[in-house]
Amino acid sequence: MSLHPADIDTGIIFRRADLRGQQAEIAAHFSNVSDTRLCTSLSNDAGTTIATVEHLMAALAGCEIDNAVIEVAGPEVPIMDGSSEPFVFLIECAGVEEQAASRRAIQILKPKVAHIGEAITKLEPADVFSIELSIEYDNPVIGQQTKTVAMCADTFKSEICRARTFGFLEDVEAMRKAGLAHGGSLDNAVVVSGDKVLNDGGLRYDDEFVRHKILDSLGDLYLAGGPIIGRFSGHRTGHQINNKLLRALFADTSAWTYVTGVDVPLPESSLWAEAPAVAVA
């Protein structure tokens, strides 16, 4: 996979390097989400797919990248260590370029809610972007965890981007029997078995599980086509319900509006202070 700079108003585009022509490009947009089992997958009208985009999308959101073309030599974004940290590292090594245009954000004007079984997500008006999530697992290692983050670039890098995806040993074994997760290992996921974490070194945070759910949600929400100004909250969230919420939001034109430049109120540590559009250099 390689990341390339892109012109103003390009947005985030995935390009399958193993294919040619228009069938190779897929816009990173919630309307292109085609599968939410285990990860977020996108597809275009030609049926071309790209899977596991959420961790990279979270890195782009956290680093405040507006325009980039991501070339991937295959149907899936590399999993790396199961977090966003390797992508953040590569973006910072490459550097970013401020562009001659104001950033555009989506401001939430009225609450929107999505339900799937016991899972619930909500977007509601707020002055800044924040995420509050709670998770609940019948497992002594995870149990119930809740965390709230006022999201900005500094907070993402220091508190969220290192949180790894996780799963249970019995689920991994079942997935492999079904022909899935052959590349999964302790190098790219936290694996829980009963009351133990099997990874050497244990967890990166005591609440790494809910932090990763925040990471996933940030990546899914960045498929809105830009940063959101509003409060996102949820319980037992996942890729499917996150996408359902975005579809509900944009189906109601009275629930949101675009704002640009200095009209965008975000935390002081955010790069929005001068509000330039940003591309990977």
Catalytic site residues? 239
| Environment class of 214 (CB within 10 Å of its CB; exposed 0-12, middle 13-18, buried 19+) | buried
Distance CA 273, CA 265 (A): 9
Residues 140 and 249: their CA atoms lie apart, in Å, by 36
Helix/strand/coil for 208: helix
Assign 127 to helix, strand or coil: coil
Instruction: List strand residue ranges (DSSP E) for 151-184, in order.
Output: 166-168
C-beta of residue 229 within 8 angstroms of C-beta of residue 107:
yes
Dihedral angle over CA of 262, 127, 57, 141, nearest 10: 150
